[in-house]
Amino acid sequence: MAIIGTDTEQAANLLRAGQLVSIPTETVYGLAANAYLEEAVVSIFEAKQRPAFDPLIVHTHSIQELNKIAVNIPQRAYQLAEAFMPGPVTLILPRHPKIPLLVTSGNESVGVRIPNHPLTLSLLQQLDFPVAAPSANPFGYVSPTTAQHVEQQLGDRIPYIIDGGPCQIGIESTIINLVNNEVEILRLGGLAIEEIETVIKQPVKYVKTSSSNPKAPGMLSSHYAPRKKVLLGNIRENLKNYNPERTGILSFQNVWEQVPRNQQFILAPNGDTNEAARNLFAALRQLDSLSIDIILAELVPETGLGKAINDRLIRASF
């Protein structure tokens, strides 16, 4: 079983030995391995049962390190990095030859990110290599936002989980493709598009890709999904069709009198979408563990992180 603790030196030694360590970040917990070491990266795919076509994000601790992961880095990337790194954003850049093609699923591009969590930044500073890290959940399931979430699902497959507390943002990083002079959002996430546009000073496009040809498999139509059926829509209307005793609720602000209180999760009583993002994945996990037949959920307002939350809710409902 995994040790859960805050000993970054022990974690660093395990990573040097080619082992897996789960790391806290401000978005979600990651499952890290030495990004330069193919054998170590293989075990990430095995532990997550992740298909090899889904590329991994490479994590480092400072902007000066980016040129050890990517090459021909455009000026725009540095502009975004200066503005938002460390932070909830991933940049897709041309791959450095030291990064194995296994990490990038054969792509000549690579995702790079500087996570904003003190324990993980301290860990990364102790290493002389970057780490590849997907979210620390079985492929397709809801991402983990606490060390306990990681332990419940991957605890028997990894030696160490760094406990950095609950994630401050709670949904995955926003992915921006900068290859071939593009500025294109591949995945909505913890950094709102509006914030990116204030730095880029031009509209930034977000192209929804289809599940048959995912540019970023985080965009598969069913992803981030609990095992129970999630019905997205007007909760008041949908409640008419289900036994309230056997129904779970994921609501933005309201409580529903008909449904037992312990089967209801209110994402943001005060209407703050940042708070809703922070609570989203833990709420989905808890609802998934109840003896209920269905989860009734509703979209949230599209302010701040609202678009990214709705993106996750839609994928959870497929």
**Rounded to whole angstroms, how far apart are CA atoms 220 and 46?**
20
Q: Which does 73 bind (CB under 5 to 8 A by kind): Mg ion, ligand TXA, none?
A: none
Q: Which does 133 bind (CB under 5 to 8 A by kind): ligand TXA, Mg ion, none?
A: ligand TXA
The residue within the footprint of ligand TXA, chosen from 135, 145, 146, 264 (CB under 6 A), is 135
The residue within the footprint of ligand TXA, chosen from 115, 226, 248, 304 (CB under 6 A), is 115
Residue 113 as a binder of ligand TXA (CB under 6 A): the answer is yes
Considering only residues 183 to 242 of the shown chain, the ones binding ligand TXA according to CB under 6 A are 186, 215-218
36 is in an annotated binding site: no
Closest CB to Mg ion among residues 135, 264: 135
Candidates 2-10, 157-165, 171-179, 292-300 — which segment interacts with ligand TXA by CB under 6 A?
171-179
Q: Are 256 and 237 in contact (CB under 8 A)?
A: no
Sheet holding 160-162, edge to edge: 3-5, 160-162, 21-23, 30-34, 131-132, 57-59, 109-113, 89-94, 174-177, 184-187, 205-206
Task: Return the bridge partners of 37, or none.
Answer: none
Candidates 128-136, 148-156, 250-258, 308-316 — which segment interacts with ligand TXA by CB under 6 A?
128-136
The residue within the footprint of Mg ion, chosen from 34, 135, 273, 310 (CB under 5 A), is 135
CA distances from 25 to 234, 246, 257 (A): 33, 35, 37
Residue 144 as a binder of ligand TXA (CB under 6 A): the answer is no
Task: Return the bridge partners of 174, or none.
Answer: 89
Shortest distance, CB of residue 218 to Mg ion, whole angstroms? 6
Interface residues toward ligand TXA, by CB under 6 A = 25, 27-28, 30, 54-57, 90, 92, 104, 107, 109-111, 113, 115, 133-135, 172-173, 175, 186, 215-218
